[in-house]
Amino acid sequence: MVRFTVLASGSRGNCTVLSGGRTRILVDAGLSCRELFRRMRLAGEEPTTLNAIVITHEHQDHVNGLAVTARKLGIPVYFTEGTHRAWMRWLQPRRQMSYAQWLEMVRKQAAERQAEPETEAGESDPPDDPNEDSPGEPAVENSVQTTPASSDPAQGSAPNPALDPAPNPALDPAPDPLGERPATLKDDPTWLPAVEYFQAGQPFSIGDVCISPFTIPHDAADPVGFVFSSEGVRLGFATDLGYIPPNVREQLRDLDLLLLESNHDLEMLRDGPYPWPVKQRVLSRVGHLSNDAASEFLAADYDGQAAYVILGHLSENNNLPELARVAAERALLGRASLLANRLLLASQHEPLSAISF
Ligand SMILES: [Zn+2]
Ligand SMILES: [Zn+2]
């Protein structure tokens, strides 16, 4: 059975659980770990059965609970390399130090570790950001200190956390003097149990789910949308995009389910409370999709094949669910029925009922 459950959608947090065969994947981890688990259980999903986390891009509303969730479950995180690096830069603000300072830091970390070998990291999610999804700090180069990613898609099957517990760096031997591994979790907020890289345009598999990532126009390092397929069911995932370019139109065909952004009503955004630069950003070709743009796609380019069309990432300040719904209904022009194009709205505050195929 294939199942798709949107746990949260909007600029305060995005998370979706998708299962196919024996594989369960979390798409984005934009809620705090605690809230994410609460919503999963509310939706009848058991968090400990997740096999992997897949990330669309590094904006806070998509990664807010990422590190804590991945560590708690001991599961790998799949990113593009650009997104992973941007996420690390966001968590590790620019730090400049001399060689002597660095050496001193490494010595201190080693001494601390010897003193308290069992110390657990003080894990906490970054604070909620009430703003529209904001990118983190500007680019600064950092070295990647992750588990080497597999380039072989067949290697994608995720470990079962129950059988294969997450490595605990606090129990590992003394740190590599070259500093490849952090001394403790506390020292490195970017530490993850395992990191795997994928590239837009190159399909890969995680267990029983095949994933086709595609580039989307959005102001992040290397943002992607996805088509997930399993057991012959195809699920399209496209939020956080300024417009729908031909490559995205191409991907969003022959789907059984489409999750499409319907972020804002143009008039509400223009007359709304955001400062002008933020309005410009949302409206730009690398911002967010308006109700009109989503409708235009649904009317002109969408093939009408999906059983479900879910509108997502609705702005709480610049949209009303009814405006998004009416615009999409008009665009689907009587193509909606019990069997095709059932229109649903994903919510920021509660999970959408699971959709099964
Ligand atoms: Zn975004
Ligand atoms: Zn977003």
CA separation for the pair 241, 223 (Å, rounded): 9
pLDDT at 116 (0 to 100) = 63
Q: What is the DSSP letter of 290?
A: B
pLDDT tens digits for range 137-165: 333 334 344 444 444 434 444 444 444 44
Q: What is the pTM (predicted TM-score) of this model?
A: 0.77
Cα 241 to ligand 2 centroid, rounded to whole Å: 9
CA separation for the pair 136, 151 (Å, rounded): 28
Instruction: Supply φ then ψ for residue 165, to 5 degrees.
Output: -60, 155
pLDDT at 94 (0 to 100) = 64
Task: With beta carbons less than 8 A apart as the criterion, state whether 187 and 137 touch.
Answer: no
Cα 337 to ligand 2 centroid, rounded to whole Å: 29
* Segment 282-311 mean pLDDT: 96
Cα 234 to ligand 2 centroid, rounded to whole Å: 22
For the CA of 64, the nearest ligand: 2
Cα 312 to ligand 2 centroid, rounded to whole Å: 10
Cα 257 to ligand 2 centroid, rounded to whole Å: 20
CA separation for the pair 305, 253 (Å, rounded): 8
* Segment 20-41 mean pLDDT: 98
Cα 269 to ligand 2 centroid, rounded to whole Å: 16
CA separation for the pair 191, 229 (Å, rounded): 30
pLDDT at 54 (0 to 100) = 98
Q: Please, what is the average pLDDT of the chain?
A: 84
Cα 65 to ligand 2 centroid, rounded to whole Å: 14
pLDDT tens digits for range 42-83: 999 999 999 999 999 999 999 999 999 999 999 999 999 999
pLDDT tens digits for range 86-143: 999 998 866 666 777 778 877 887 887 777 654 433 334 333 333 444 444 333 334 3
Cα 291 to ligand 2 centroid, rounded to whole Å: 15
* Segment 23-31 mean pLDDT: 98
Cα 133 to ligand 2 centroid, rounded to whole Å: 5
For the CA of 61, the nearest ligand: 2
pLDDT at 6 over 50: yes
Cα 75 to ligand 1 centroid, rounded to whole Å: 23
Task: With beta carbons less than 8 A apart as the criterion, state whether 312 and 259 touch.
Answer: yes
pLDDT category of residue 202 using cuts at 50, 70 and 90: very high
**Comparison of pLDDT for 129 and 302, the residue scoring more:** 302
pLDDT at 186 (0 to 100) = 58
Cα 28 to ligand 2 centroid, rounded to whole Å: 10
CA separation for the pair 354, 25 (Å, rounded): 14
For the CA of 129, the nearest ligand: 2
Cα 286 to ligand 1 centroid, rounded to whole Å: 9
pLDDT at 103 (0 to 100) = 80
Cα 133 to ligand 1 centroid, rounded to whole Å: 5
Structure tokens at 139: 């680019």
Cα 148 to ligand 1 centroid, rounded to whole Å: 27
- Which residues face 290 on adjacent strands? 264
pLDDT at 95 (0 to 100) = 62
pLDDT at 345 (0 to 100) = 98
